[in-house]
Amino acid sequence: MTGFAVERTATAIRVGARPPRPERTALVEARGALLFWDVLDRHAHPAAEIFDARAADWLWEVYGPDTAAAILGDAESVATEWESPVLDAARDLAHLHWAGAWWPGSHAAAVPALPGGLLRAETAWRTAALDHLLDDEDAVERALAGLDLGDLPVLGTDPALAESVATLQERLTDLAETFGVELHANVRTRPEDWALAAGGEAPDLAVASGSDPIDWALVPHGLLDAAGEATWQFGQRSGAWVITVTAPAAPGAEPVPLIGLFDTVEIPLHLDRGAGAFTGEAPAPPDFAMRLRGQVRVYAPRFAVPGDSPDEDREAIIAFARDRLSAPDATLTERAAA
């Protein structure tokens, strides 16, 4: 049984509340409404914001006809025990969207990266199960267009998983034909692991150092270790004052350039695969010793502008992800990662 308060504003009917933070939010954009699940406060049924009741004619599929009628009527609270394959598909799709954005891959916390190709494939399949109620009329075509069957993992060691992946591939091939999308099937060659000589070694003589948690929202998914902290060191190298920043890389991170920001000093960071970290060094301005009370922030240029650091529920989210790997309702993608 899931219960919600219902509130009516000038622009929307609110069923329950939005999850408090983006990294907790599993979202489905349905026609006329957003559906939200909070990954840290899990319920079978989603909270919702209905902004077009006429378009949200599918609401009964998610809450059941009586609850849907009460929501669209004048009930101030509702409860439901409705079960349906559409509700299951919506919950799965929301979870896959969340995993694509926030799955906290981490060496430090032993959370493996999810296989990206399989994640996109499973997302496309779940999208297709909801084609009749999504806001984007071309959602299925869009999801299929981003797929590459060559990216599906080869899971020779686990016959049951391998069979599930093969079934998924078959279904997607048929789906692509029904929606007129040509699927790619390129075997992608991954760049070999190489170590970049990017500096980042500790200064000869460090006079100050510290570390700060990484703000997930400032970097694209899958680059930095979700449980990691960025560390900085201020010191001398060959007689010059330098600041060095290191941030641990996520499992399977791509070598995208990042920036460490300490006070107003920008330190370009590059992936050092040997060290498993993004590292870099920059000359420290003359008065830098006066500014050491700041904190280091790591961000991706042309992705986000560093603002105030929010409080994140990172430990709880990492614990949630770890549980998912062995959850009875784990997605195929999660099972393949475990």
Comparison of 27 and 284: residue with beta carbon closer to another protein: 27
Comparison of 133 and 152: residue with beta carbon closer to another protein: 133
Of 19, 31, 23, whose CA–CA distance to 98 is shortest? 23
Q: How far is the CB of 85 from another protein (least distance, A)?
A: 5
Separation between Cα atoms, residue 241 and residue 46, nearest integer Å: 54
Separation between Cα atoms, residue 90 and residue 45, nearest integer Å: 10
Q: How far is the CB of 154 from another protein (least distance, A)?
A: 22
Q: How many helices (H) and strands (E) does the chain have?
A: 8, 13
Of 233, 265, 263, 264, whose CA–CA distance to 247 is shortest? 233
Residue from 150, 194, 303, 327 touching another protein (CB under 8 A): that is 303
> Position 90: which residue type?
A
- The 118-147 contact track toward another protein, x by CB under 8 A, reads -------x--xxxxx--xxxx--xx---x-
Residue from 41, 254, 315, 329 touching another protein (CB under 8 A): that is 254
Q: Does 69 bind another protein (CB under 8 A)?
A: yes
Number of other residues whose CB lies within 10 A of the CB of residue 217: 18
Number of residues that bind another protein (CB under 8 A): 60
Q: Does 165 bind another protein (CB under 8 A)?
A: no
Spatial neighbors of 320 by CB under 8 A, at least 6 apart, are 39, 40
Q: Which residues of 185-203 are buried (b: 16+ CB within 10 A; e: fewer)?
A: eeeeeeeeeeeeebbbeeb
Q: Residue 38, SS3?
A: strand
Place of tokens 């006070």: 263
Q: How far is the CB of 203 from another protein (least distance, A)?
A: 26
Q: Does 205 bind another protein (CB under 8 A)?
A: no
Inter-residue contact 316 to 306 (CB < 8 Å): no
Comparison of 138 and 163: residue with beta carbon closer to another protein: 138
Q: What is the enclosing helix (H) or strand (E) of 324?
A: helix 314-324
Comparison of 86 and 325: residue with beta carbon closer to another protein: 86
Comparison of 9 and 238: residue with beta carbon closer to another protein: 9
Q: Does 301 bind another protein (CB under 8 A)?
A: yes
**Binding piece for another protein, criterion CB under 8 A, among 60-68, 147-155, 156-164, 239-247:** 60-68
Residues that bind another protein (CB under 8 A): 11, 22-23, 25, 27, 29, 34, 51-52, 54, 57-61, 64-66, 68-69, 85-86, 89, 97, 100-102, 125, 128-132, 135-138, 141-142, 146, 171, 177-180, 182, 216-217, 220-221, 254-257, 300-305
